[in-house]
Amino acid sequence: MIPSSVTASDDLVGALRGSAALRPVVDRGLAGGLRAWLDDGIFELLGVPEAGTVRLSTRDVAGGASSAGPTAMLRGALVAQLLRLHVAGVVTEDPFGAASLALASSGRDDDLVAVLDELDDDARARLAAEVASHAAVLSDRLPAVPSRWSPRLGVRQQVRLAGGGVVLRGLVDLSLGEPGGATACVCLVDVTTSLLEERHELGLTHLALLETLRTGEPPLRVAALSTADGASHVRDVDAPLLADGVSAVLRAIAARDPR
């Protein structure tokens, strides 16, 4: 497990946003250098790959379990719906019921909806208790998010490298702030129902790298929050962190290269 850099009593949103006066000036030349570094590294590993030769998600880059059981995936999907409701200011006394309805109404994750429908009474009761516990942690650790911080949920990232030969993908559970200012502003939050491990920190470097390449601006901070125990990990985004992200991507490409 990685240590939490924010204690359970701290305001996670406040820790992310910090003082506007202390935010660094955006380095708009950094993204180009990172992309060139990645393109050079890919050429050394693969030459000139055909379009779509390598597709890497955050899990591919950060490692961890290759797959989770259907109940664990369902729990994660339900907590993701609770995050959406929480950020929208919806208060419910039945987290499991509200999350289940939101999941079924989303038009996505039909396989997980089917898993939910097939649960017997005992399994449904156990899952409902788990979801309620995760909901309580989420509400406690992630205070209300003001609309002026432009919260966006489920932000899908995609970056093409080496002429489209390599495609990097990520999913940001919660993004705060808008790019385009003189100082760094955007904060990315990854919410997990698992206990935090080193792979979650590496996943944060990947999300920060994709955001930098995608928008041309490094985000201000990235954070992981576990709704299992309330632990969180917050990192300032700087050049060394982004360099770690580049190295992780190149390692993942090398590991997948059949040569």
> pLDDT of 169-205, one tens digit each?
999 999 999 988 899 999 999 999 999 999 999 999 9
Helix axes 121-141, 70-87, angle to 10 degrees: 40
Which has the higher per-residue pLDDT, 155 or 110? 155
Task: Return the pLDDT at 87.
Answer: 94
* pLDDT above 50: residue 33: yes
Confidence of residue 112 (pLDDT cuts 50, 70, 90): very high
* pLDDT above 60: residue 132: yes
Task: Return the pLDDT at 22.
Answer: 85
Q: Which tokens in the block code for residue 160?
A: 């093409």
- What's the rounded Cα separation, in Å, for the pair 26 and 20? 13
* pLDDT above 50: residue 8: no
Confidence of residue 59 (pLDDT cuts 50, 70, 90): very high
For the chain, give me the number of helices (H) and strands (E)? 9, 6
Task: Return the pLDDT at 123.
Answer: 95
Task: Return the pLDDT at 66.
Answer: 54
Task: Return the pLDDT at 65.
Answer: 58
Instruction: Tokens 């299992």: give the residue.
Output: 228
Nearest one of 43, 67, 66, 68 to 54, comparing CA atoms: 43
Element (H, E) at 223: strand 221-226
Task: Return the pLDDT at 67.
Answer: 58
pTM of the entire predicted model: 0.91
Task: Return the pLDDT at 182.
Answer: 92
Nearest one of 259, 59, 15 to 171, comparing CA atoms: 59
